[in-house]
Copies of this chain bind each other. A is one copy, B any other.
Amino acid sequence: MKNVNKYEIYEIALSGPAAGNPFTDVDLRAEFCFINRKRVMSGFYDGGGVYKIRYMPDCEGEWVCRTISNAGELDGKEYGFTCVSALPGNHGPVRVSNKFHFTYDDGTPYYPYGTTAYNWTNQAPDIVAQTIKTLETTGFNKIRYSPFPKHYLYNTNEPQLYPYEGGIVGGTSGDDGKDGAVGSASGVGTGPAPDPFGGGAQAAYKFDFMRPNPAFWRQFEECVLAMEKLGIETDLILFHPYDCWGFAHMSRNENLLYLRYIVARLGAFRGVWWSMANEYDLFRDRNEADWDLYAHAVEEWDAAGHLRSIHNCREPYDHAKGWVTHVSMQRYDYHSHVEQTHKWRERWQKPVAVDEICYEGDIDHGWGNISGQELTKRFWDVVVRGGYCTHGETYLRDDENLWWAKGGWLTGSSPERIAFLRKLHERIGQIDPSPAMDWDLPWGLSGKQFNYETGNRFQPVGIAADKMLCYFSFAQPSVKTFSLPADAKYEIEIIDTWDMSITKLDGVYSGACRVQLPGKPFIAVLFSKTVD
């Protein structure tokens, strides 16, 4: 019997019917059984008469499986494999842990420090390679992107491949409207005319949304795998509204076929999260019931139970819903956002990933022109309040290859500061906001102060946290009197979050103590309880 490492992909490939529409005519799934557990995973058509079923085993031991299909040649096949211990560095998919946090499936801590390159997988091979190279040396361990190409500012190039059979049928630049089939019927990209987001595409398209393009998906999978190799989770955006091809305006059946196909292809990849949409509220032809329907479909089809969320533009989604595993926020107010992180935790009782808080850059638009200093500050403001944060970069290059859109190069000043914060965060452990925040100073606590069993209740006041972190943000005190628990002793480290230096003070501290600080902005202080 074949050996499969835990959390790796077990794949069955079968020959089957190539005639008709194999994507819709053929129903294929498999039951994977381990002792008394049974999971069902859909298969998918990979072109050339080949069907595949992928599964990620998460328990060591003997597994058996059996196919079920309406095509006789694919039905009733039986297989077995032995799941053996995971390869070094493979900790499995990320799960919610301790209500507001994350760990890998094997219990290894995971603190998401994400970046954003929405459309990187659809760029020319040299740019794709450059993106991977860039990410090798940053501290990011999550990246948000979508398989669908993007039509938006600084996103006007056609993808290398299309996710469906079809392509350009109208003229190119200056020649639009030639094709009489342009319209809003299913399968027809309407071109940029009804698209409110601008951009320069001048083509019209015709796709068969019932026929995914396996070549496109094989190429996309390579990108997901490349991220896995770097230890970077793929926060996979299933739908986004920035479209001129029609991918954002498919029918319900077409959307469900798409979701089933992508979950079948990618659901066995350990490093995938499902982001139902980027800016769901910009889809004018979908309501909340639609989103719930699609999310429930993903939930049902995804045997691995990957993380699921949905990202807003204006109004946050009702993240209390059962299918939402964690909050994926975009600031919905230009001025008041990261300071709300602990309130968002409280409101939805889930981990909060603040996935969009303006990008470091210098473009025309308010969502993409904050400084590296400002973005670093926002990361700290989120983390000290018990949340997680995501980076993006939009410096205007002569070649208009902006990281946030196409990947490629990072030139900003925030990534190394974010990596510095991540390293410190991993040392501190999971951070929860103190129930006793100062009005002018947020406090994060770490240790056993949080009763995860009974919900959102913190330690009684007076029981000392193992570690306490405060962040002064724009304030620049030269001295601060702290009121530490009197029954514990702490070491103190002064952290310059911009210069990335950590200065440990001599001695141990207890009760009220007056501490000299650098008198400049962006300082944090970490208190670590000493073990007697």
A503 within 8 A of B: no
Minimum CB–CB distance for A521 against chain B, Å: 6
State in angstroms the CA–CA spacing of A209 and B519 once bound together.
43
Select A363's contact among B363, B439, B477, beta carbons within 8 Å: B477
Select A441's contact among B366, B439, B519, beta carbons within 8 Å: B366
A203 within 8 A of B: no
Contact in complex: A366, B476 (CB < 8 Å)? no
Chain B residues contacting A364 (CB-CB under 8 Å) are: 477, 479-481
Contact in complex: B371, A474 (CB < 8 Å)? yes
Question: Which of chain A's residues 392-412 have a Cβ closer than 8 Å to chain B?
Answer: 396
Provide the A284-321 mask, 1 if CB < 8 A to any CB of B, else 0: 00000000000000000000000000000000000000
A369 within 8 A of B: yes
Contact in complex: B335, A369 (CB < 8 Å)? no
Contact in complex: A366, B440 (CB < 8 Å)? yes
Contact in complex: B362, A439 (CB < 8 Å)? no
Chain B residues contacting A480 (CB-CB under 8 Å) are: 364
Chain B residues contacting A479 (CB-CB under 8 Å) are: 362-364, 396
Contact in complex: A475, B440 (CB < 8 Å)? no
> A336-B335, A374-B521 are contacts. A440–B477 as well, Cβ < 8 Å?
no
The count of identical subunits is 2
Select A475's contact among B366, B396, B475, beta carbons within 8 Å: B366
A498 within 8 A of B: no
Which size class do A's interface residues fall under? 20 to 34
Provide the A320-362 mask, 1 if CB < 8 A to any CB of B, else 0: 0000000000000011100100000000000000000000001
A367 within 8 A of B: yes
State in angstroms the CA–CA spacing of A366 and B479 once bound together.
12
Most chain B Cβ neighbours within 10 Å, of A369, A438, A441: A369
Interface of A is mostly: loop
Chain B residues contacting A520 (CB-CB under 8 Å) are: 371
Contact in complex: A396, B521 (CB < 8 Å)? no
A36 within 8 A of B: no
State in angstroms the CA–CA spacing of A475 and B369 once bound together.
5
A454 within 8 A of B: no
State in angstroms the CA–CA spacing of A440 and B440 once bound together.
25
State in angstroms the CA–CA spacing of A227 and B446 once bound together.
53
Most chain B Cβ neighbours within 10 Å, of A370, A438, A441: A370
A365 within 8 A of B: yes
> A335-B336, A336-B335, A339-B335 are contacts. A477–B362 as well, Cβ < 8 Å?
yes
State in angstroms the CA–CA spacing of A479 and B369 once bound together.
10
State in angstroms the CA–CA spacing of A366 and B477 once bound together.
8
Minimum CB–CB distance for A332 against chain B, Å: 10
Contact in complex: A371, B476 (CB < 8 Å)? yes
When A and B form their complex, which 9 residue pairs have the shortest distance between CB atoms, in order from nearest? A366-B440, A362-B478, A362-B519, A369-B477, A335-B339, A369-B475, A336-B336, A374-B474, A371-B476
The 25 listed contacts between A and B (C-beta, < 8 Å) are: A334-B339, A334-B440, A335-B335, A335-B336, A362-B476, A362-B478, A362-B479, A363-B479, A364-B477, A364-B479, A366-B439, A366-B440, A366-B441, A366-B475, A367-B440, A369-B475, A369-B476, A369-B477, A370-B474, A370-B475, A370-B476, A371-B476, A374-B521, A396-B478, A396-B479
